[in-house]
Amino acid sequence: MHDNPFQSPASSEFKPPNPAWSVPWEKIALGLGLCGLLVALLLPAVRTARGPTYRASCRNNIKQISLAFEQYVKDHGSYPPAYTVDANGKPLHSWRTMLLPYLEQETLYKSIDLTKPWDDPVNAKALNTVVSAYARPTLSVDSDLQRTTYLAIVTQQSCLRSGTPTAKKDITDGLGKTVVVIEVPENYAVPWMSPQDTNEAMFVELMRDLTPRPNEEAEPPRWSHIGMSHMLFADGHIEEIVPDEKSPAERRALITIDGGEK
């Protein structure tokens, strides 16, 4: 007698095939582990790639500021003062505001009431505007981008001085030997419209070492770049500052326009 071709096989002999989506949990765990390992391996490369990108972006910002200074000097015959003042000598607006028309921000500049302080409510909208040339490339939150790490060095002998414009002929130490603006750590950033900058003491202190010093009482500098920063000279060229490259005396000489230092 022949077996019935339509008869189902015995249940003990039947083994249904695994569906395509049925994968043993061991394989799933292995796959997730491999993905995690791949991400861990790629993260250092991403961070490394960001370093040069941030430095290039920052250098481009400073170059824009340099070109704006150059055009301002051509139009006015001198650099802008570090900040404008009212009749009582109270600071009103930063040099960064004065450069706006030369950074393709003339509409923003015209919206600012220059007769009232930078933080007056009438200037709130302008203050909350992000100016790309002043924004820190390492951050992306709008509230952070309204702050800047590009500060001028303001002293009685610096290129940018309080209430006093400086002509190029006044810089007898040499345009290529006089620093105008430096890039400071992120925790020293100020609102871009604020008439706040840095001074000789802070410049020498910040530039003495670009590595954090966690044992000090004050919060250590949080630099945008690892092991270096930027400074802009009066002739428009940009240099990188690296640790121990210049002595404190040399750094002080860099920020005077007529100190007569060698």
Cβ 195 vs Cβ 82: under 8 Å: yes
Output the pLDDT for position 259.
83
117-to-22, 85, 86, 90, 113 alpha-carbon distances in Å: 69, 9, 9, 9, 8
Half-sphere exposure at residue 30, Cβ-oriented, CA atoms within 13 angstroms: 5
What letter represents residue 216's amino acid? E
Count of C-beta atoms within a 10 Å radius of residue 255 = 25
Query: pLDDT at position 136, please?
Result: 74
pLDDT in tens, the chain (262 residues): 445 443 434 444 444 445 544 556 565 556 665 655 554 444 443 333 346 677 788 889 999 999 999 999 999 999 999 999 999 999 999 999 999 999 999 999 999 999 999 999 999 999 999 999 998 766 554 457 788 999 999 999 999 998 788 999 999 999 999 999 999 888 888 999 999 999 998 888 776 655 545 555 556 666 666 556 789 999 999 988 766 566 778 888 999 999 887 6
Report domain extents, the chain: 27-254
Q: Residue-wise over 87-100: b if at least 16 C-beta within 10 A, else e?
A: eeeebbbbbbbbbb
Pairing of strands 190-191, 150-152: unpaired
pLDDT at 225: 61
DSSP labels, 136-164:
-TT---HHHHTEE-EEEBBSTTSSBBBTB
Model pTM above 0.85 = no
Residue 99 DSSP class: T
Is the separation of the CB atoms in 227 and 216 below 8 Å? no
What is the reported pLDDT for 10?
47
215 neighbors 188 (Cβ within 8 angstroms)? no
pLDDT at 234: 96
* Residues 6+ positions from 262 with CB-CB distance below 8 Å: none
Q: Give me the pLDDT at residue 54, please.
A: 75
